[in-house]
Structure 1
Amino acid sequence: MSLMADLPGADRLSARLRRDTHAAHEAAQGSGFLDALASGLLPWEAYADLTAQHWFLYEALELAAGTMADDPVARAFVFPELMRLPSLEADLHYLHGPCWPDRIAALPATTTYCTRLRYAANSHPIGFIAHHYTRYLGDLSGGQYLGRAIARAYGLNGDGHRFFIFDGIEPTALKTYYRQLLDSLPWSHYEQDEFVTEVLEAYRLNIAVLDDLRRRWT
């Protein structure tokens, strides 16, 4: 039985997350850069740039997943089927060719994000789960719409946008299971506060990356 099975829905951690991050979520989803990209108003190089920034972020996050794989709390959130680095590298190879590592660079906001991510996600399960939740549940939610829109706008059919494709995963079912895991975490109210604070920081850092991309391409 879940450790929080008797809590009413509004008191569950997953419900609190939705409430407390609503404004940040809307700000990220409302990025002018993503809107322009989804509408095909930017050159393909802008999409390739977004893909490159994702590579830096997921390299940091998925290295932390290796560190946290044996942690008694965090290991439940290490889903091998969610790993994005192989898909991102395939996308970058398609977009830039075999020399893609020499053709990408982290934006200033991406470097800041990666620094925070490495510190938080490697030091404590709260930090790891906060950044894991922010990235992957976003990919399984709004990221699915974005991926389809980008594929239409830039004429991609698998190759070049594999980052958005989760083979063998039903997004709604996985998100439901993920939220059940969150609600079962044996955290105090203080630890939950710390977790929500780190999720909000991850949103802020992500928005800063999108702002850097917007300034470069729009």
Structure 2
Amino acid sequence: MSPTVTPFSELLRRRSRSAAAPAAWTGGAHDLLAGECDVADYADLLGQYAVVYDALERAAERMADHPVAAPFVTTQLTRMPAIRADLEYLVGPDWSELCCPTPATTAYVRRLCAVAATSPGAFVAHHYTRYLGDLTGGPTLARLLEDRFGFDTNGVLFTIFDQVADPAAFEDTYRAQLDAAPWSDAEREAVLAEVDLAAGLDRALVASVRRPGAGDDRAAALLPA
């Protein structure tokens, strides 16, 4: 009897669960919003993510024609228009001028710019970490924001994937694409390692919003020398 081979998507799911990723809005961010934060704190957090998603979606544009990365690139997941609309509602039309990235956010974006626009494996690792977290944790976050701040649609557009009719089916397709990607064992290990790194960068970002400076040293320490 031949040994059972665990699909890569399952290995990634197990690794990401232990690393608290997919991280977007389901881990530290959820804890922050469930604590003693106000609308300004939430707007600050969303402003930090605006910088991250802008970098990630620019990387997606560059990866859209890559034979390995292209299957994961879809406008169904694009978050920047919703983030912009939420921040205009929460902060005003000049939100981008008022958003000051923390050093932890800058470290996160520096990593994205260094690897996600050039390495298909690294791109998929960051794409998986952010977007599957959004898709899974979005409804929970929306309810939390609605209960805490009285938001209805404005302010929670980021959490609404109106282009994804069936999130469960979408996730199944995404995981099938992970399994079909033609990576070697070494390349798969690199993807797993990048998911760990992405989760750590996310935690540092949230910590830097919770208490400015708190996540900065952690984010710097995560990055390769």
TM-score (norm 2): 0.87
Whether contact under 8 Å (1:27, 1:207) holds in the other structure is no
Percent of aligned pairs with the same amino acid: 42
Note if 1:212 corresponds to 2:212: no
Which among 163, 175, 183 is matched to residue 171 of structure 2? Answer: 175
Cα deviation, residue 168, structure 1? 3.0
Report which of the two has the higher share of helix: 1
Note if 1:79 corresponds to 2:74: yes
Which among 114, 119, 125 is matched to residue 130 of structure 1? Answer: 125
Instruction: Tell me what 1:53 maps to.
Output: 48
Cα deviation, residue 38, structure 1? 3.2
Whether contact under 8 Å (2:45, 2:209) holds in the other structure is yes
Please show how residues 1-218 of structure 1 align to structure 2 within 5 Å. Answer: 8=4, 11-25=6-20, 29-31=26-28, 34-38=30-34, 41-169=36-164, 170-216=166-212
Output the aligned Cα RMSD: 2.2
**C-alpha separation in 2, matches of 1:36 and 1:124:** 32
Structure 2 gaps of 5+ residues are: 215-225
**C-alpha separation in 2, matches of 1:135 and 1:91:** 18
Instruction: Tell me what 2:218 maps to.
Output: none
Amino acid at match of 1:173: A
TM-score (norm 1): 0.89
Cα deviation, residue 37, structure 1? 1.0
Instruction: Tell me what 1:3 maps to.
Output: none
Amino acid at match of 1:96: V
Whether contact under 8 Å (1:38, 1:146) holds in the other structure is no
The secondary structure found in structure 2 opposite 1:102 is: helix
**C-alpha separation in 1, matches of 2:37 and 2:209:** 11
Decide whether aligned partners of structure 1 residues 30 and 162 sit closer, same or farther in structure 2, where only a CA change above 3 A counts.
closer
Q: Deviations over 1:101-126 (max 9, x none)?
A: 11111111000000001111111111
**C-alpha separation in 2, matches of 1:137 and 1:201:** 16
**C-alpha separation in 2, matches of 1:160 and 1:59:** 18
Q: How many residues align?
A: 210
Q: Deviations over 1:143-163 (max 9, x none)?
A: 331222112211111111101
Decide whether aligned partners of structure 1 residues 30 and 100 sit closer, same or farther in structure 2, where only a CA change above 3 A counts.
closer
Structure 1 gaps of 5+ residues are: 1-5
Cα deviation, residue 85, structure 1? 0.5
Whether contact under 8 Å (2:22, 2:129) holds in the other structure is no
Amino acid at match of 1:135: R
Cα deviation, residue 23, structure 1? 2.1
